[in-house]
Structures are given as structure tokens and as C-alpha cells.
Amino acid sequence: MNIVREIVWPLIAVLAAFIVGGIIILLLGDNPLNAYFLLLSNSFGSVRDIGWTLHYATPLIFTGLAVAVAYRCGLLNIGAEGQLYVAAFAAAWVGIKFGGTVVNIFGKEENWSWMSLPAIVLIPLCALAAIAAGGIWGGIPGLLKAKFGSHEVINTIMLNFIAIALVGYFTQYFYKIPGDPIQRTAEIGEAAHIPRLNEFLPGIPYDVPLNVAFLLALLMCVAVYVFLWKTKWGYELRAVGENPSAAEYGGISAKKQTILAMTISGMLAGMVGIGEVMGTRHHFEVGFSADWGFLGIAVALLGRNHPLGVLIAAIFFGVLQRGEIFVDAFTRYVSKDLGWVLLAIIVLAVASLQKYAKSRTGVVKA
Amino acid sequence: MDVVIFSLIFATIRSATPLIFAALGGLFSERSGVINIALEGLMLAGAFTAAVVSLQTQNPYLGFISGVAAGGAFALIYAIACIKFEADQVVAGMAINFLMIGLPALISGVIYDSTGSTPQIPLEYKMPRLTTSLSWGSILAFAMVPICFYVLYKTPFGLRLRSVGENPAAADAAGVNVIKLRYIAVVISGVLAGAGGAYLSTGQSSLFTKQMTAGRGFIALAALILAKWKPVPVLLACLFFGFTEALTITIQGMIKLPSGEGIPVQFIEMIPYVLTIIVLAGFIGTSRAPKALGIPYRKES
């Protein structure tokens, strides 16, 4: 593998985005160098900054890996958003139903649960619920593609809307605390909470919400690498992505791999629910995702659909999300929406340069 | 009761209008072989530009035209990425959508000191109205359906455009400039999507709010698929989706059935999406996309 060639195109795209973004900042009436200094110094300047940056990067590692796995099989999963929605709700549901008595937002003790399970059982159960729900929601378009040949792009878009409406319905009618103005569920039991890293790593400030889901995300980068390049299933999955007819000829079922890839993709996206519900919020909230599912497409694209690339790209987008807050606050005109613009230019540039960067990343066929 | 039905009919027309514009736009692009996931972003470009120009010039006509032009301009960027650079069309489309989340907010933050929305457009600078509940935008949208039908099916341009989407190599051999036609088709799609957006911010509503299209670009795409890439069925699909939206707006909360049971609005909202999946799976007749959809064309040499 030619590593230089793998890295040079994404870097050109990022550079292009910063140049075009700089021109936009100039046109808006601010100093681009000042804006970029604010962006970078506040996302890397201290342990707290790095902690926040990694916290913002965590869901993007999961969704980036999700999109990458599907892409390696020649599929474009635009449905990570819906998958992480149902997954987060599933985790919250298990955490509510098996979590025992909780103190609600009005400070009153409440019991929504059927039974109270200890943390050692409840944490894996909640996590598995999230992974399973994401896997099912991702598997559906895989199955539809394998069985009926319907395009996964349209089906995943549709399933995003369906997921959001469905989960919104359950939240509103069944799991919302009466009187709560926000569309969110009751709190999950304390036994379902996963620890923040600052609880056992003394150097991290108390206000950094970075939790063990980040470690899970790192683990998943390794796991996806091993799966794709060191196992037979992974080999077959990539074979279908590179040339479906040749793979079929070699005795690999493209249909089976399509379902497998989409299910795994959905499971990875679903892991966002673990960090967000069990680590950060401790309940499910409608609209909790900052478009992570869609950003995952950009992460995977910039990361060349490789787990290491995804990790780096996710941290880069974490930098944008952390830094844009300070750019917003300390410049006169530029708001944090600059992040979206930079992101869009990066995606457009990477997609446009793809044809010059001939490498084996699997080609999406329409 | 009559009042409810009348208001529901008007609400359906109002909700269907932006969808008709955008779906007809998608029709041109996709019949020429270019997937248009960017409809959402192109609508936002039109909506924002129309609102700002209407506010600044106090001229609704100039506002509408600017919105349409903005849709076309950003579609041109999209077309260059997809046609010249052969970028993955879905990915490039998503990029345009991302851009249109950020760019309007960024600009609106500078002009109006608010990234969330523009100020209200006074009634006299909004899109002119036919009655109190219908603006001329809706009439224009409905008029576009026969026009698009005529252009696509009764003119040499339309024939060439459709042939480019089905078999570009054969069209090329017959002397059709595939690349040029695709550029034109994608820009037309941006113009129409821009019109849909302009209607949204200056006709149906009276300001631009961040991400105000709220997935309408994708619903338009769904309508296009449901309509099997044909103009008249596009109108019907858009009216149907407009009706489901009107239901959710007119009747907040639960819809009561005669039996006394209620249907939550979330289930009404889901209808277009579920229907699209069903149609794509071929349960109610096969839906065949243009053959060359999504495939960049490279001249054999």
C-alpha cells in the first residue's frame, strides 16, 4: 500500500477547504489567521481542550467506521443517523426498564422499571440492546437490497425519517415524564451509567464528559481493521466491494455480504447510543444527535475508509466542533457554522479528487 | 366540517408546492443520469437568497429570481463536481447539503446578527397572493408540470436528455453532447429546486430559518421515485405527500378515527417514507430508474 498517496489527497482537500474557508472569513470581515488560531489553540491547547475534542470525536469514530465498513462492500450507508437513533432509544429503554428507582428531573423519586439489575449485568445488556437495534435498522436496507435490489441510499434515507418519527412517538407517548417540556425519556438507572474517564484518570478536569465509550471506539478501530483484513468474512466483504461479479464467480455470495456489511455498519453506528445515553446524558432525547450519522460519511471519506484514517478524520472533525465554539465567541462576525462550510468543502474536494487518487477503497456503484 | 376540508385542501396545495418544484427539478437531473441528493441543499440556497434579496431590495420578484438563480448557481458547482470530476454523486450531493446548513447561517449572522433566521419579511414584500391562503408560487408550480412534460416528451431537447440518461454511449454516437446536456439538466434541477426554496421562505413562510426545508428535498426525491421518474405522476405523488404534511400540521397531536381511536401524527409523517421503501422493493409495480443513473460518462477514445 502506498501510504504517501493515501494521505496526500485528504491533506490537499483539507488545505483547499482552509483556503476557501479563509477567503469566506475574509469576505465576512474577519481575520482568517486569527480564526484558525482560535480553532486550533482551543482544541489542543490543554488537557481539557483535548478531552473535549476527543469527546466530540467519539460518536464520529463510530459512524465513520460504520460508513467505512459499508463502503468497503460497495454500499453507501446514509442511514447511520437513523441507526444511532433507534440504538440510543433501545439503550435508554433497557436502562429505564431494568434500572430500578431513579430521581427524575423534578427531583422526585420514580420507578419506571420492571426490575432492578446490577451494573455488571445492566451495562452489557444496555450496550447490547443499542448494538442490536442499530444492527437491525442497518440490516433492513441490506436485506431489501439483497432481496429486491432496491438501492440502499434511498432506503437508508427513508429509514432515517422513519426512525426519528418512531422513536419520537415512543418517547412522547410512553417514556416522557409528565410535565417535562423537553422531548426526552425518563432517566436510566444509575447501574446503567458508564464511567467518565476523569473518574479514574486524575489528569482530566472534572468537567470533561469524555467517557469509556471513547475507549470502546478505539477498540472498534482495531476490531474493524482485524475483521476487514484478517478474517475470511472481511476478505469476502471487500471482494464484493471491489468487484461483485468477480466475487460471485469466486463463490462469494454478494447478497450475504451485503446484508452482513449493512448489519455490521448499523451495529457500529448503534454504539453511538452507548456513549451518549449511558455515558453523557443518561436519558434519550429527541434531536440529541448533531448529525453524526451524516458527518460519518465525511469522516469515512476523508479517512479513506480505513480505521486509522477514520480515527484521524474523526479527531479532526472533533477539532472543528470544539474550536468553532471559540471562533464563534471571539471573532466579530464568524459564527460556528463555519465548521459546516469547511466540512462541505472538504467532502466536495475529496469526492472530486477521488478519480486522481486511484487506490483500492471499493467503488460505490449506483 | 366544510371549513376543515377547505383548509385541508389549501394546506395540501401549499405543502405540495415546494415538493413539486423540487421533484420536477430532480426529474430533469435524474432523467439525464445524474442522481440529485443535493435537492435539499439547493432548496435551502433558493430559500435563503430569496428571503435576503426580498428583504434588502423590498422587491419580491427580484427575490424570487435571485433564489432561482442561486439554486442554479450551486447546482452548477454540483454539476462540475459530478460531471467534470466524476465525483460520487451521492457524496457530492451530501456536501452541497452540508454547505447549505452552514453558509446561510454564516451570512445571516453577519447581515442580521442572527444565525438562526432572517428577520420577518413584511407582507407587501412577500410573494404576491392569489387569495389569502394561496400565493402565485403554487400556481407556478402546478403550471410547471405540463411545461416539464412538454419539454421532456415533446421537444428534441427532451428526447436527447432522456436518451442521455438511458444510454449515453448510443446518444453520443448519434451526435448528442452528453456532457453539455447533463450540465444543462443539473442546472435546470437547481433552478427548479431554488424556486421551491424561494416559495418556502417568501410564499409559504415569511422568513428564512436555518434548515427550514426540514427534509423536503428528500421527500421530493421519494416522490420522484414513487412517480417512477414521470412528470404527471410526480404531481400526484407530491400532492399525496403534501396531503400527509397538511394533515400533520392541521390536526396537531392525534387524529381521531370514527371508532374513537387516535392515530399519532408521527405515523402520518412516516407514510411517505414507508411507501417509498415499499415501491422500491417492487411490491406495487416495479420502479425502474433511468439506466445510466449515477454513472459518470467518459467518452470512449
CATH code where residue B65 lies: 1.10.3470
Question: Is residue B150 a part of any domain in this protein?
Answer: yes
Question: Is the model's pLDDT at A273 over the cut of 80?
Answer: yes
Cβ-Cβ contacts under 8 Å, B254 against chain A: none
Backbone angles phi, psi at A256, to 5 degrees: -60, -45
- Ramachandran class of A303: left when φ > 0, alpha when ψ lies in -120 to 50, beta otherwise: alpha
Of these ranges, A4-8, A269-273, B4-8, B291-295, the one predicted with the greatest mean pLDDT is A269-273
Amino acid at A191: A
A347 contacts B95? CB cut-off 8 A: yes
Rg for chain B, CA atoms, rounded = 19
Question: Is residue B255 a part of any domain in this protein?
Answer: yes
- Please check whether residue A259 touches B, CB under 8 A: no
B81 contacts A29? CB cut-off 8 A: no
What is the average pLDDT across A67-90? 95
Cβ-Cβ contacts under 8 Å, B226 against chain A: none
Question: Is residue B95 a part of any domain in this protein?
Answer: yes
B-contacting residues in A 188-247 (Cβ below 8 Å)? none
Cβ-Cβ contacts under 8 Å, B274 against chain A: 158, 162
Cβ-Cβ contacts under 8 Å, B217 against chain A: none
The tens digit of pLDDT for each residue in A146-162 reads 998 888 888 999 999 99
Domain total for chain B?
Answer: 1
Backbone angles phi, psi at A79, to 5 degrees: -100, 10
Handedness of CA B163, B165, B170, B175 (dihedral sign): positive
Of B205, B299, B110, nearest to A25 by C-alpha is B110
The tens digit of pLDDT for each residue in A129-150 reads 999 999 999 999 999 999 988 8
Distance of CA A11 to the CA centre of its chain: 22
Cβ-Cβ contacts under 8 Å, A165 against chain B: 266-267, 269-270, 273
The pLDDT value recorded for residue B249 is 76
Write down all domains in chain A, each with its CATH number in brackets: 50-353 (1.10.3470)
What is the average pLDDT across B20-46? 96
Q: Which domain, by its residues, includes B118?
A: 2-280
* Distances B186 to A8, A86, B80, B181 between C-alpha atoms, Å: 31, 35, 10, 9
Identify which of A157, A294, A335 has the shortest CB distance to residue B115. A335
What is the average pLDDT across B156-163? 95
Distance of CA B213 to the CA centre of its chain: 9
Question: Is residue B301 a part of any domain in this protein?
Answer: no
Question: Is the model's pLDDT at A348 over the cut of 90?
Answer: yes
The tens digit of pLDDT for each residue in B237-274 reads 999 999 988 888 776 655 666 666 677 878 888 888 89
Q: Between A and B, how many CB-CB pairs are < 8 A?
A: 156
What is the average pLDDT across A261-290? 95
Q: How far is B96 from chain A (nearest CA, A)?
A: 7
B86 contacts A153? CB cut-off 8 A: no
The pLDDT value recorded for residue B164 is 94
Express the helix, strand and coil content of chain A in percent, nearest 5 each.
70, 5, 25
pLDDT tier, A1 (very low <50, low <70, confident <90, very high otherwise): low
Q: How far is B130 from chain A (nearest CA, A)?
A: 34
Q: How far is B35 from chain A (nearest CA, A)?
A: 9
Residues above pLDDT 70, as percent of chain B: 93
ipTM for the whole complex? 0.90
Question: Is residue B290 a part of any domain in this protein?
Answer: no
A339 contacts B102? CB cut-off 8 A: yes
| Dmax (CA) of chain B | 69
B225 contacts A76? CB cut-off 8 A: no
Question: Is the model's pLDDT at A100 over the cut of 90?
Answer: no
What's the whole-number average pLDDT of chain A?
90
Distance of CA A338 to the CA centre of its chain: 20
The pLDDT value recorded for residue A360 is 45
The tens digit of pLDDT for each residue in B92-135 reads 999 999 999 999 999 999 999 888 889 999 888 888 888 777 88
The tens digit of pLDDT for each residue in A322-346 reads 988 898 888 888 888 898 999 999 9
* Residue burial A5-35, b: 16+ Cβ < 10 Å; e: rest: ebeebbeebbebbbebbbebbeebebebeeb
| Whether A364 contacts B88, CB under 8 Å | yes
The pLDDT value recorded for residue A144 is 94
Handedness of CA B106, B108, B113, B116 (dihedral sign): negative
CA angle centred on A73, ends A67 and A74, rounded to 5°: 85
B-contacting residues in A 105-164 (Cβ below 8 Å)? 144, 147-148, 150-151, 153-155, 157-159, 161-162
Amino acid at B28: F
CA-based end-to-end distance of chain B: 67
SS3 B255: strand
The pLDDT value recorded for residue A362 is 45
Question: Is the model's pLDDT at A107 over the cut of 80?
Answer: no
Q: Which residue has the higher pLDDT, B272 or A365?
A: B272
What is the average pLDDT across A212-239? 96
| Whether B8 contacts B248, CB under 8 Å | no
Question: Is the model's pLDDT at B299 over the cut of 80?
Answer: no
pLDDT tier, B201 (very low <50, low <70, confident <90, very high otherwise): very high
Cross-strand pairs, B254: B264
pLDDT tier, A10 (very low <50, low <70, confident <90, very high otherwise): confident
| Dmax (CA) of chain A | 64
CA angle centred on A23, ends A20 and A27, rounded to 5°: 140
Cross-strand pairs, B141: none
The tens digit of pLDDT for each residue in A276-305 reads 999 999 999 999 998 999 999 999 989 989
d(CA A293, CA B213): 19
Cβ-Cβ contacts under 8 Å, B96 against chain A: 344, 348
Q: How far is A157 from chain B (nearest CA, A)?
A: 8
What is the average pLDDT across B192-218? 93
Amino acid at B164: V
Interface test with B, best of A78, A85, A151, A154 (most B CBs within 10 A): A154
What is the average pLDDT across B11-17? 94
Can you tell me which residue has the cell 486522481? A356
Q: Which residue has the higher pLDDT, B201 or A101?
A: B201
Question: Is residue B297 a part of any domain in this protein?
Answer: no
Q: How far is B119 from chain A (nearest CA, A)?
A: 18
d(CA A30, CA A27): 8
Residues above pLDDT 90, as percent of chain B: 64
Distance of CA B135 to the CA centre of its chain: 17
Question: Is residue B133 a part of any domain in this protein?
Answer: yes
The pLDDT value recorded for residue A332 is 85
Residue A65 in grid coordinates: 467506521
- Prediction pTM value: 0.90
Q: How far is A342 from chain B (nearest CA, A)?
A: 8
Of B9, B15, B65, nearest to B214 by C-alpha is B15
The pLDDT value recorded for residue B257 is 63
Least confident of A1-5, A79-83, A240-244: A1-5
B37 contacts A366? CB cut-off 8 A: no
d(CA B97, CA B238): 21
B295 contacts A151? CB cut-off 8 A: no
